[in-house]
Amino acid sequence: MTTQRTITVDQARQIVFDAYTTGLPQAAAAKLLTGQATQAWVTSEYAALRRRGIPAMSGQGSLFDPAAEN
């Protein structure tokens, strides 16, 4: 038997933000939040991030930045 942990809205938003800024598609972000958020909610969060002017790939630089490995 598996138990699913409940997360807060802020935690879900952080997961969506991380997924968005690393270039994951909305479907992948929704899968990360299976049982915690709907596809429609993830879609609205992605749209809100776009409206705020946050680039979809802004987190990619930190993933591959050798200076960030301290």
Banded model confidence at residue 70, pLDDT cuts 50, 70, 90 = very low
Residues 19-55 have pLDDT tens digits of 999 989 999 999 999 889 999 999 999 999 999 998 8
Q: Would you tell me how many other CB atoms lie within 10 Å of the CB of residue 38? A: 11
pLDDT at 10: 96
Asked if 36 contacts 12 with a C-beta cutoff of 8 angstroms, the reply is yes
Does the pTM of the predicted model rise above 0.85? no
Instruction: Bin 35: left if φ > 0, else alpha if -120 < ψ < 50, else beta.
Output: left
